[in-house]
Amino acid sequence: MAHPPSGTSNRLAREHSPYLRQHATNPVDWYPWGDEALSRARAEDKPILLSVGYSACHWCHVMAHESFENPDIARLMNDWFISIKVDREERPDLDQLYQGVVQLLSQGGGWPLTVFLTPDLRPFFGGTYFPPQDKYGRPGFPRLLEALHDAWVNERDKVLQQAEAFREGLGELASYGLDAPPSALSPADVVSMGERMLRKVDPVHGGFGGAPKFPNPMNVSLLLRAWRRGGSPSLKDAVMRTLERMALGGIYDQLGGGFHRYSVDERWLVPHFEKMLYDNAQLLHLYAEAEQVEPRPLWRKVVEETAEYVRREMADPRGGFYAAQDADSEGEEGKFFVWRPQEVAALSPQHAELLMRHFRITPQGNFEHGATVLEVVVPVAQLAQERGLPVEAVERELAAARQALFSLREQRVKPGRDDKILAGWNGLMIRGLAFASRVFERPEWARLAAGAADFVLARMWDGTRLVRSYEEAGGRIDGFLEDYGDLAAGLTSLYQATFEAKYLEAASALVRRAVALFWDEQRQAYLSAPKGQKDLLVATFSLFDNAFPSGASTLTEAQVALAALTGDKAWLELPERYLSRMRQQLADNPLGYGHLALAADAFLDGAAGVTFAGTREQVAPLLSAAHHVFAPTFAFGWKEPGVPVPPILKEIFEGREPAGGQGSAYVCRHFACERPLTSPEALIQRLQPAPRS
């Protein structure tokens, strides 16, 4: 394949995004999204070729190598189109909008996203990956370019007619579901949503549906919420099966911790190897919830290893977390992560034999070219039985062997890392680490989360403007709703791990600003991008929860938490209005609104909270007990005697004192509090759901 001459570069070389810079030496005359490109398209009356992807996306790399590095294909793009590259992690609003084109064409969606627009930004054709020649049932990219150019020149009326139809369709998609009449949610709705989701669960391997299979942590978490409210035991069983299969499968990095993006099969074996911050953030939270429901050494192992992976690979030394790790290294997908017997043989014979049995590393392999993706095939108990040794002894030996293989892997060329620090995704990781730190009593994880929060609040938030993305050159691109919502939800979680009021105050300020920027009073819903965003064809609403939660869902979660933690009823006004607006959608399509359903579940418990009163030593047994109960709708605060009360906490802390000089827990729901509890056992009983009849 031909490559551009060395030393040449296009406009993307000046961009901050690692993804855009990956295309800086393409022979394509790329533009970043902006006035220069859009003005040129209008001036030259050329259609726009919009290509959207992200740095860790395998098929984005494939299309880049096959087409964008090919001088002949680049020449067609340069002659006939204005070509624009967009990093979907920088501009999720553009990605959301134009993914609608592929959805309207019943192609599902995904990346790379390839959409053709008129100079006034109306799409007239779209798809995802296109090969360089006709294959996979898709037209070759050069043939597609030629056909669309011919249509633009010779059948303009048809193109514009198609473009107008797409514009109307995108407008309907952008606000889909907002025409349903408002109605009040009930706890029974949470159970019925979970039971409806349960019908989609794979009864053998867990997870939803077949191949490819995504973790869907928010939807798995909703199954637990439905079980907690009295749903069938099958709900909990489905969660435990899913989490166990994922933890033992190839989707989980068995050596380095952390989860890959998804598996290409139905049994969690062969992943697409990229690791995303948002997946690991949500899965940390979910496995910590599982520990509360049914403690297992496997859950602790997964959480400890994933938190360590985040600290080791994804944490910026100044604070803040990076966005993603690539699927590819040295030009091959998964090369860093897979093994062959001869490579494992570099270890001691004892370690090599143990690992090859445990992970079933064979000459045939389970992946491409005889390589093996590590999965737990022979469990520790069976290994111990085979060897006539205690399980504990085999566990110790296996841990040493895994560490030796990990050290060997560290000598390999690592996958590329996207070092953007995204405000919203940092919020999700802050949320996950802070919660896990409480469940597993690991304060260092809360400190790691606090370091990220301090970085984002100092470098990316000035009190009125949150920026989306931070790189070495500093913050840029105004934040979207998901940035405000995710960060606010993370900060309310971090307050509950540290009891530092500054995080609650920052969450409050972020939510107030988000409401001003994104709430649409007429539609009673939240826009994805700030009101009046100039370069969007139609305004898009933040509705669906996909791989990561929508900003409307996390903002609602944060508002309910703020109500519980401050005692201020006003925080529930917009959640009540928004959730009633979305009730029909939640009932009809719970898989599409998993995180919103979690926020709704907390709302239905009346901003439930527990205020602990007493010295740190006095409340420690109560806090520890509370952290081991699955009480996901409760928010925790702490009033320390003799310490000045911050204004944001004055209302909730009023009258909360240690009862009889003992550490006390005040349980409150619907802004009414019960008599204080001083016994950990009594608190555990109070936080657990009512017995099932």
Give SS3 for 497: helix
pLDDT digits (tens, 9 = 90+) for 16-58: 899 999 999 999 999 999 999 999 999 999 999 999 999 988 8
pLDDT digits (tens, 9 = 90+) for 582-633: 999 999 999 999 999 999 999 999 999 999 999 999 999 999 999 999 999 9
Cβ contacts of 18-25, under 8 Å, gap ≥ 24: 18/55, 18/416, 18/418, 18/419, 18/420, 19/53, 19/54, 19/55, 19/60, 19/85, 19/87, 19/89, 19/418, 20/85, 20/87, 22/55, 22/61, 22/64, 23/64, 23/68, 23/85
* Choice between 653 and 4, residue whose per-residue pLDDT is larger: 653
Mean pLDDT of 241-270: 98
Residue 5 binned pLDDT confidence (cut-offs 50, 70, 90): very low
What's the CATH fold of domain 187-330+418-604?
Glycosyltransferase (1.50.10)
Q: CA 263 to CA 251: how far, in whole Å?
A: 6
Q: CA 304 to CA 317: how far, in whole Å?
A: 20
pLDDT digits (tens, 9 = 90+) for 410-425: 999 999 999 999 999 9
pLDDT at residue 4 in the model: 38
Q: At residue 474, does pLDDT exceed 80? A: no
Spell out the domain ranges in the chain: 11-174, 187-330+418-604, 337-411, 609-687
Q: Is the pTM of this model over 0.85?
A: yes
Q: Which residues pair with 475 in a beta bridge?
A: 470
pLDDT at residue 1 in the model: 28
- Look up the CATH architecture of domain 11-174: 3-Layer(aba) Sandwich (3.40)
Q: CA 452 to CA 310: how far, in whole Å?
A: 12
CA distances from 671 to 156, 270, 511, 567, 652 (A): 62, 49, 21, 6, 9
pLDDT digits (tens, 9 = 90+) for 206-231: 999 999 999 999 999 999 999 999 99
